Chain A
């Protein structure tokens, strides 16, 4: 490899570092992403320039064109509400690519070794650690691929988002893990392409088993974890291929991804171990999911309009239901009207509102809600007791007092918005069905609580008209 190429790889690696740095600040985030994209493109163009005997160039460019078209199409078409599963899908195909690359490289390594053996040379072309890294990439890449597809299916509701646990699961889980480790050892001692393929298949099954028992609300954490996994496989692939850019890029993602996973889990008040293996140990990570028939107080839009119209201080708690109903624009209009009437209105953003951390900010930003009105949980939690009305739109778990009061509840320990301290609470819901965590919300039955049933967008529209005519 010419020196100038190594230098350019180094520059690309620096680009990745600057990209991550930029992405962690709101003002620099977009530029950071573009820097990362530029570095990645430069890195991928390089082999076409410096590698002497690169075969199949037209076919490879064709494949890149197909992938680009697919990626751009998916990325442009996806709705903001479906963002988490899109990230999962992109992550999965990356892991799959890494596993395939490692399989091909294993094949190549075996060919080189065979050629050496045929010459009668008693040397090992590759050290044992190269074989170990190859096995790691094949196995973990397959785990990431299969696991990500299952998370995609769960979030897209192609399958149940409840944890799937069956009797033999812990045993099957253990067997697959043992199989993966055993086949990895075999790859080091007696490498053969058949072992590599078997390792790939075991990895796929293990990936499925890993994600099946995880409850819907915890899936975003798993996406983040699998993202870190893929980063590490790319790093190991970089070592196998002796490519510094792959090693640095993959390691950066592996390290920052692992750290980000821990941050997210902390924001949800959960431990990563509990999320991944809680269901395996027997305790379900989800509640019953049953709707209750206990009496509640419900009202029409006109009544709620009066509550809101004459309040001095209103806090809005938006949730995923708001996004599903595509009601964020109507909500913003409602807030504008209330503001004109002199009511002080803010949005209280729970860290995991929506489907994953920061998701709600993206959704509300899409509806052009001014950034200053979005207040994070820690800042706004003290203000609920001075609030006249809390309007909960399509949220449930993030205001469920069970997180503070019921030690056995799946969400116990998760920091919540103190909506229960407000003078009045209005829930806009489609039905009495529980939230994503599948547990009942005591707050719904509180005497201070009023329910407004119906589709969020329709109800908000009626509410808006009623307030305008007050």
Chain B
């Protein structure tokens, strides 16, 4: 089996899954969903680790480390900020009136 076609198959199927799983999202969740999807592509960190771990020149190493920092900010920051947004949706009861603690 042609390996390129295998990759193409994975790609095409992922496109359909990606569209299908979010097709029923309500507009109230657009912002958190965008933010969560944004965090998922932070998985480029995995790629950055693989590439940096194989570098042999100093310059390449520096570039790789910069890529790791950027990718980590994307991934970690993305998930944390999404969680912060969603925290506010899950609180069910209206809170007590005294909100001086803000």
Residues of chain A touching chain B, judged by Cβ–Cβ distance below 8 Å, are: 16-17, 19-21, 23-26, 29-30, 32-34, 36-37, 40, 43-44, 46-48, 51, 53-57, 59-60, 63-64, 66-68, 70-72, 74-76, 78, 80, 83-84, 86-87, 90-91, 93-94, 96-98, 100-101, 103-105, 107-108, 127, 129, 223-224, 227, 230-231, 233-235, 237-239, 241, 243-257, 259-260, 263-264, 267, 329, 333, 336, 349, 351, 356-359, 361-362, 365-366, 368-371, 374, 376
Question: What B residues does A241 contact at CB under 8 A?
Answer: 47, 50-51
Q: What is the distance, in angstroms, from A354's C-beta to the closest C-beta of chain B?
A: 8
Q: What is the distance, in angstroms, from B100's C-beta to the closest C-beta of chain A?
A: 10
| A127 to B99 alpha-carbon distance, docked (Å) | 62
Q: Are B102 and A47 in contact (CB under 8 A)?
A: no
Q: What is the distance, in angstroms, from B48's C-beta to the closest C-beta of chain A?
A: 5
Known interface pairs A66-B69, A251-B18; A97-B74 also in contact (CB < 8 Å): yes
Q: Are B51 and A101 in contact (CB under 8 A)?
A: yes
Q: Give 1 or 0 for each of B26-37: 1 = CB within 8 Å of chain A CB.
A: 111111111111
Q: Are A60 and B37 in contact (CB under 8 A)?
A: no
Q: What is the distance, in angstroms, from A27's C-beta to the closest C-beta of chain B?
A: 8
Given contacts A34-B83, A55-B55, A362-B89, 19 further A-B contacts (CB under 8 A): A16-B43, A25-B29, A26-B28, A33-B32, A40-B75, A40-B79, A60-B64, A66-B69, A97-B48, A103-B63, A227-B37, A231-B41, A234-B47, A239-B11, A246-B43, A255-B18, A260-B25, A358-B30, A374-B28
Q: What is the distance, in angstroms, from A9's C-beta to the closest C-beta of chain B?
A: 9
Q: Which of B11, B19, B45, B91 contacts A97 (CB 8 A)?
A: B45
Most buried by A among B29, B33, B47: B47
Q: What is the distance, in angstroms, from B66's C-beta to the closest C-beta of chain A?
A: 6
Q: Are B51 and A108 in contact (CB under 8 A)?
A: yes
| A57 to B55 alpha-carbon distance, docked (Å) | 12
Question: What A residues does B47 contact at CB under 8 A?
Answer: 98, 101, 234, 237-238, 241, 243, 246
Known interface pairs A23-B22, A251-B18; A70-B73 also in contact (CB < 8 Å): yes
Question: What A residues does B50 contact at CB under 8 A?
Answer: 47, 51, 241, 243
Q: Which of B16, B33, B73, B102 contacts A74 (CB 8 A)?
A: B73
Most buried by A among B80, B90, B91, B102: B80
Closest 4 CB pairs of A and B: A67-B72, A71-B77, A255-B18, A94-B74
Question: What B residues does A368 contact at CB under 8 A?
Answer: 91, 94-95, 99
Q: Which of B28, B55, B77, B102 contacts A329 (CB 8 A)?
A: B102
Q: Are B78 and A29 in contact (CB under 8 A)?
A: no
Q: Are A37 and B68 in contact (CB under 8 A)?
A: no
Closest to B72 in A: A67
Closest to A330 in B: B99
Q: Which of A83, A259, A370 contacts B31 (CB 8 A)?
A: A83
Q: What is the distance, in angstroms, from A299's C-beta to the closest C-beta of chain B?
A: 28
How big is chain B's contact interface, by range? 35 or more
Q: Are B7 and A256 in contact (CB under 8 A)?
A: no
Q: Are B22 and A356 in contact (CB under 8 A)?
A: no
Residue pairs across A and B with Cβ atoms less than 8 A apart, 15 shown, are A26-B28, A47-B46, A47-B53, A74-B81, A90-B35, A94-B78, A98-B47, A223-B34, A249-B41, A251-B18, A252-B14, A255-B14, A362-B88, A369-B94, A376-B28
| A57 to B68 alpha-carbon distance, docked (Å) | 12
Known interface pairs A71-B74, A101-B51; A239-B7 also in contact (CB < 8 Å): yes
Q: Are A63 and B54 in contact (CB under 8 A)?
A: no
Q: Are B38 and A91 in contact (CB under 8 A)?
A: yes
Q: Are A72 and B18 in contact (CB under 8 A)?
A: no
Closest to B35 in A: A87
| A41 to B86 alpha-carbon distance, docked (Å) | 20
Q: Are B89 and A246 in contact (CB under 8 A)?
A: no
Q: Are A253 and B37 in contact (CB under 8 A)?
A: yes
Question: What A residues does B34 contact at CB under 8 A?
Answer: 87, 223-224, 227, 257, 260, 356
Q: Are B21 and A20 in contact (CB under 8 A)?
A: yes
